[in-house]
Amino acid sequence: MKTAQELYEGIDLAGIGPTGLITYMRTDSLRVSDEARANAYSYISGKYGEKYIPPAPKKYKTKANSQDAHEAIRPSRPDLTPDAIKDKGLSTDQFKLYKLIWERFIASQMADCLMDTVSVDIDAAGCGFRATGNSVKFDGFTVLYEEAKDDSGEKSSMLPPIAKNDVLNVQSLDGTQHFTQPPPRYTEATLVKAFEENGIGRPSTYAPTITTILQRSYVEREGKQLKPTTLGEVTTELMKEHFDKIVDVKFTAGMENNLDSVEAGKTSWVKTLDDFYKDFSAALTEAETAMDGKRVKIPDEATDQICELCGKPMVIKIGRFGKFLACSGFPDCKNTKRLVQESGGTCPLCGGKLLIKKTKKGKKYFGCEKNPECPFMTWDTPTDQLCPTCGSTLFNKGGKKGKLLCHKPDCGYERDMANED
């Protein structure tokens, strides 16, 4: 949202000047103005040809009670392509977000992709099999944008020419076993999608909601996924036990509808608040009575570290400022330590351990355990590979298609990862 705000307020582009690159972003409207559509058509016809313009303007259905005072989020000037302004003063995050918005908008105004789909039923020894394949008849908007591009190594889904009553020869017969997998944990993106599908919140509240549950340690990031903490699980069970009607998806969505009704002047805000507060006040009083004098125990996370003062195992606890290590022998032993997470590899400056650290904004980086005596830090990920020149830890910069490089002063070794298994 911060990056979107910067694009909306304007970027000082080299050779162009201060330019607002996107329209107002705190909206869930899908409405597009005639002027914006005409500008998009002008770019599409000039870049791809008239056949990529749809026969009739596309209109997308906006969900009920959406904030429609503003247009859909779109580039303010469709002629300013991402590549044209990439090196004119945009930060990496600003470029990525602008590219996403620009491509999404232009693709939404292009002609549909047309596919030829073929389905074949095969009878073999009394058993029925079905093969389905497709081919692209007209690429349409996919010439510019695809939500999910196939991996380069994925097998083609095209079928060879087949006619009715053809006899097919068996080339191989492979048996595979599949097990039901649990649904994946939410990521920030899928959680926002769940908000939208259930009618919870508004675009302006999505980011603050996710920030709040992270800051209060109800969830934590595990890669891109949001993993509930023990504090989050205990808090959730407590809320479900005493405020089951309030922490219900239908209640939250219903409250959104009630507030929209108040905004539209169809319902009295006094009555809406009164109806809510009567039930809430009763539930709160009941919960206070039931929990009077009780303390909620948050389970500790066991570790393999041993307390150097008393020899008992150390456990992970959650305090006001996040997680920390404490002796399981508390209150007899009050030893506590800062919780650190080793990343593997060694510091190229002093040979110390490398620790996973985070900035105030939650961005991960890697630093030496001997900081501040040793100033080494990097955004590049340490690997288990060693430099063939000096023997120091190699770091990955840029992911699978990036580079392996050595940070040892005066070494300079690096190699591309694109051709590695």
Active site residues: 24
pLDDT, tens digit, 9 for 90 and up, residues 40-94 = 999 999 999 999 999 988 888 766 655 567 889 999 998 899 989 988 889 999 9
Sheet arrangement for strand 322-327: 301-306, 313-319, 322-327, 336-338
Give residue for tokens 């039923």: 121
Determine contact, residues 76/31, Cβ cutoff 8 Å.
Answer: no
> To the nearest whole percent, how much of the chain has pLDDT over 70?
93
Name the β-bridge partners of 354.
Answer: 368
- Sorted by where each begins, the domain ranges of the chain are 2-108, 115-143, 188-290, 301-338, 345-416
pLDDT band at 258 (very low <50, low <70, confident <90, very high): confident
Give residue for tokens 């980011």: 207
The class of domain 188-290 in CATH terms is: mainly alpha
pTM of full prediction above 0.85: no
Cβ count near 34 (within 10 Å): 8
- For residue 198, give the nearest of 255, 260, 250 by alpha carbon: 250
pLDDT for 16 beyond 60: yes
For the domain with range 2-108, which CATH number is right: 3.40.50.1980, 3.10.20.30, 1.10.10.10, 1.10.290.10?
A: 1.10.290.10
**Average model confidence (pLDDT) for the chain?**
85
Average pLDDT over residues 96-112: 93
Cα first-last separation, the chain: 37
Q: CA quadruple 159, 165, 166, 168: dihedral positive or negative?
A: positive
* 188-290 has the same fold as 2-108: no
pLDDT band at 104 (very low <50, low <70, confident <90, very high): very high
pLDDT band at 152 (very low <50, low <70, confident <90, very high): very low
